[in-house]
Structure formats: structure tokens, C-alpha cells
Amino acid sequence: MEHERKNVVRKKRNCHCMQAGLCTIILAMAVIGKALLKLLYGTKNRMERYEIELKNLKKRHAVLEHWLSIKIRGEKLESYFKENGFETVAVYGLGTLGCCLCRELQGSSVAEVKYGIDSNLGVPKYMVRLRKLSEEIVPVDVVVVTAIASFHEIKKELEKYYQCPVLSLEEIIYSL
């Protein structure tokens, strides 16, 4: 009888040890699963951001390619400004496209770039006076937004400050 009681106690201990081991394994699997989910979710978010950036780069490339074809035909963007009566221009966004626009209009007798609007005033930009959107507004005939990927959001914000037309550089280029 004593021997049977010891066997029952031993079996209970083994059962508890197995349960504890099983719980440890389940807990470890849960921790590993959570880490894998975070890794996969982070990778998915990065991939989505890369896809958006790639789409934006393709859009800028297409705009630059069309702009180049305009120049090859011997036309200039200033013709758009002349046809629409825009003599003074503010350029929003002085990245690659913004600097190209400023260079194109430099010395133009038709359209003068009065200033650029850019949130990053610390970076020297293409020989144009820089302003923040929060500064006092100097009136111009048109604001050209060169940040084509976020044009609609930027336009809504600019229309709070400016009474003139706010146009996308993309729209101007594809109209020629």
C-alpha cells in the first residue's frame, strides 16, 4: 500500500512537471509568435512606404520626361505663364522640381519668381528668397506647387493664405 501511494505521488509530480514544461513551451511559442508578427507587420509597413515612394518617383520621372520633351521642341514654360497673365510667381517646394522651375524662369521677361516657400529654410536653395508659410504673405499672381505627390493637401493649406490660383507644376507641364 505504501508503495502504491508513493507511485501516485510520483505520477502527480511528473504530471505537474510535464504541465509546467508544456506551459513554458506554450509561453515561449507565444513570445516568438508575437516577435514574428511584429517583424512581419513592420516589414509590411516598410514595403507599403517603399511602394508609395516608388509611385511618387515614377510620377516625378514622368513629369521630368515630359518637361524635357517640351524643351526639345523648343518651347518654354514661361509661355504658360504669359498666356494666363501670371507675371509674379511663388514656388512651393524647392526640391529637384522646384529648383528646375526657378532655373527655367530665371531671367524671364514674362514671369518672375518672387520667392520660394519651403519648410526647410536651413538648406540653401536655388538663388531665390525663401519664406515659411507662416510668414507674412507677399502677394503674387500664382503659386506653383512642385511637390506633386501631395499637391491636393498642400493646395488646401495654401488657399487659406493666398487669394491667387494655386497650381500644380504637373498640371502646367502636361498642359503644354
* Cβ 115 vs Cβ 129: under 8 Å: yes
Among the ranges given (5-9, 148-152, 154-158), the one the predictor scored with the smallest mean pLDDT: 5-9
Collapsing DSSP states into helix, strand and coil, what is residue 172?
helix
Q: Does residue 131 have a pLDDT over 60?
A: yes
Helices and strands, counts by H and E, the chain: 5, 5
Whether the CB-CB separation of 79 and 104 falls below 8 Å is answered with no
Which residues, other chains included, contact 125 with Cβ-Cβ below 8 Å and sequence gap of 6+? 94, 98, 99, 116, 118
pTM of the model: 0.73
In sequence order, which ranges of 73-150 are alpha helices (DSSP H)? 78-83, 96-105
For the chain, percent of residues with pLDDT exceeding 70: 76
pLDDT of residue 83: 96
pLDDT at residue 138 tops 50: yes
- Mean pLDDT, the chain, whole residue set: 82
- Mind listing the pLDDT tens digit for each residue in 92-113? 998 889 989 999 998 888 899 9
For residue range 41-87, what is the model confidence (pLDDT) as tens digits?
767 777 788 888 889 888 999 999 999 999 999 999 999 999 999 99
Query: By the 8 A CB rule, do 63 and 170 touch?
Result: yes
| Residue 12 scores a pLDDT above 70 | no
pLDDT level of residue 119 (50, 70, 90 thresholds): confident
What is the CATH T-level fold of the domain 76-175, as seen in this structure? Answer: Rossmann fold (3.40.50)
How much is the average pLDDT of 23-38?
A: 68
Q: Is the pLDDT of residue 13 over 80?
A: no
Say how far apart CA 59 and CA 61 lie, in whole Å.
Answer: 5
